[in-house]
Structure 1
Amino acid sequence: MHYEAIVIGGNFAGLSAAMQLARARRKILLIDAQKPRNRFSEASHGFLGQDGVAPAAIMAEGKRQLAAYPTVAFADGEAISASKTGDTFSVALKDGREFTASRLILATGVKDTLPDIPGLSERWGRTALHCPYCHGYEVRDRALGILGSHPFSVHAALLLPDWGPATYFSQGLFEPDADQRAQLAARGVTIENRPIVEFLGKAPELEAVRLQDGRVLPLSAIFVGPKVLMASPLAEQLGCAFDDAPLGPVIRLDDRKETTVKGVYAAGDATNPMHNATLASASGVLAGVHCHQSLALPVLH
């Protein structure tokens, strides 16, 4: 079946993009692999009107609202390939179904690549966290850590004392320079250069970390900036260009959220080095609006 637009990805960005097209009465398909990045989190925080609500509940309600629009169709499954022939896009799902559309919106997200430290992965999303703005309040006034995993980890460590007593673990990889050491000291951040080799306690809770020299330091939560990879090969298959960001690649977009491939729009974490529910939703809105305008006013796009 042919659609005016196919939105691939049913998390905050994809649902927000689909809503704009649905309200414009465009015939669209939402494809959802049902493996959102935020599935490890108990609740979404800092998202206006949804603070403390489970991500799965937000997405379920978003789908319920979308289903009220008669021009919206849904396909649960993993999109494994996409191609363009002339002005038509073809998308194939893992189960063999195929669909075509005049436009695509990629809201396919990213997947996290965590440092290989025993005990870290089973705490991801609970006491090993990616963002203090998203989760810092819930672990406030406890012993907190920042794991040095990229050049901007020091900046994150400078912010952390607003939530609790903080230690910066450089892992021996991202050592602060003299100016940064002075800034960390002024903020009351302890610097620990010996690498963490194990996270301790009954997961998903965190009680302490073991260092390479054998010391055990009490710790209740740690913030980690994991490296990210595209969760889907579709953007690469379509020939979209990427830009390098501190934590991994992002899909290159113009001001209209269009990729370097005409007719392909993108939104969400795969397009932005800053990962946040509100930002993902907002980028989905813009992608949906501009996608609609390209359908309604093709001569201007």
Structure 2
Amino acid sequence: MDKSFEVIIVGGSYAGLSAALALGRSMRKVLVIDAGHPCNAPTPHSHNFLTQDGARPAEISEVAQSQVEQYETVQFYNDFAIEGTKTTGGYSIQTKDGSTFTTKKLIFATGLKDIMPEIDGFAACWGKSVIHCPYCHGYEVRHKKTGILANGEKAHHYATLISNWTKDLTIFTNGPSTLTEDQTKQITNHQIPIIQTPVKRIGHAEGQVQNILLNDDREYILEAIYSGPDFVQQSNIPEQLGCEINEQGLLHVDGFQMTNVPGVYACGDNSTMRSVALAVASGTKAGVVANKELIEEVF
């Protein structure tokens, strides 16, 4: 297998495949490094993406990869990228199996890693009925008994947003509330209860929420829960190379998906709001801009 490329894309889900498609159609020599562990793997259906609404995430990726594979200048390598280094002509990427590849440009489409809270049942329901985004999943649980497992500003944000999909809402702060007095007043004025007792367990049947049990053994019947767990970057290579992380924990990019490090781009969940459609769009943009830079360097 070749070891030298014009562009290496780390991450082969929606954003990475979209960047690869743009570059393959630009006749660029591209390597996509991916280990096949997308962060949306638990999610049974993807929504809010035209032509693919309701499709399984894996199905979308399979079709996308089969289309990208038709471009002969694009190659795939199944492994984890574990280290990145600046070189005279660009960058090198080392994979878990010890292979090293060099490139002029780097695109990170590496996504995020969610940190599950230590609540029994949370991880089993994550992406199925414990959800983070109403635009992705809200229509399917509209008008249902819904909990918000969050505190402070995040709880307030969810309360105002989710009330558009259901009025049957209860906030569980999982401990003393950190909502401000004004936020608390606004929420209670909309008849949304705020429960501060710590959560013991989320009851479920094969990932479908049935109830939430508190430490004082009170039980609330629910059909869905919104929650936004903490996360970290799936890959630490961008930081190794000096890429800036913003206050939200995302890779900082400009309007062209460029990081602060020359020749390094980021697209998808690692640098923008989680959305299949936005991942595809940002991947296309990263691929187009990387190709433009390669042209300008020789013309």
State the TM-score, normalized to the length of structure 2: 0.94
Tell me how far apart the structure 2 counterparts of residues 201 and 114 of structure 1 sit (CA, whole Å): 16
1:133 alignment partner, SS class? helix
2:98 equivalent among 96, 99, 114 = 96
1:159 equivalent among 158, 161, 164 = 161
1:130/1:224 contact within 8 Å kept: yes
Q: Deviations over 1:234-272 (max 9, x none)?
A: 112212121111xxx111222321112111111111112
User: Does residue 176 of structure 1 match 2:175?
Assistant: no
Tell me how far apart the structure 2 counterparts of residues 201 and 255 of structure 1 sit (CA, whole Å): 42
Q: Which residue of 1 aligns with 2:295?
A: 296
Q: Which residue of 1 aligns with 2:25?
A: 23
Q: 5 Å matches for 1:53-202? A: 53-149=55-151, 151-164=153-166, 165-202=168-205
1:147/1:222 contact within 8 Å kept: yes
Instruction: Indicate the RMSD between aligned Cα atoms, in angstroms.
Output: 1.7
Seen in structure 2, the aligned counterparts of structure 1 residues 173 and 261 have a Cα distance that, compared at 3 Å, is farther
2:170 alignment partner, SS class? strand
Q: Which residue of 1 aligns with 2:252?
A: 252
Tell me how far apart the structure 2 counterparts of residues 149 and 36 of structure 1 sit (CA, whole Å): 28
2:129/2:209 contact within 8 Å kept: yes
Moved more, 287-296 or 252-261: 252-261
Q: Which residue of 2 aligns with 1:8?
A: 10
2:77 alignment partner, SS class? strand
The structure 1 segments of at least 4 consecutive aligned residues displaced by more than 6 Å after TM superposition are none
1:230/1:270 contact within 8 Å kept: yes
Seen in structure 2, the aligned counterparts of structure 1 residues 239 and 173 have a Cα distance that, compared at 3 Å, is farther
1:157 alignment partner, SS class? helix
Seen in structure 2, the aligned counterparts of structure 1 residues 275 and 173 have a Cα distance that, compared at 3 Å, is farther
User: Percent of counterpart pairs with the same letter?
Assistant: 40
Seen in structure 2, the aligned counterparts of structure 1 residues 168 and 258 have a Cα distance that, compared at 3 Å, is same
2:119 alignment partner, SS class? coil
1:206 alignment partner, SS class? strand
- Deviation, 1:15, is 1.0
2:151/2:172 contact within 8 Å kept: no
Tell me how far apart the structure 1 counterparts of residues 22 and 280 of structure 2 sit (CA, whole Å): 11
The code of the aligned residue for 1:45 comes to: H
Tell me how far apart the structure 2 counterparts of residues 174 and 242 of structure 1 sit (CA, whole Å): 29
Q: 5 Å matches for 1:225-244? A: 225-244=228-247
Count of matched residue positions in the alignment of Structure 1 and Structure 2: 296
Tell me how far apart the structure 1 counterparts of residues 105 and 204 of structure 2 sit (CA, whole Å): 49
1:12/1:59 contact within 8 Å kept: yes
The code of the aligned residue for 2:281 comes to: A
Q: Which residue of 2 aligns with 1:217?
A: 220
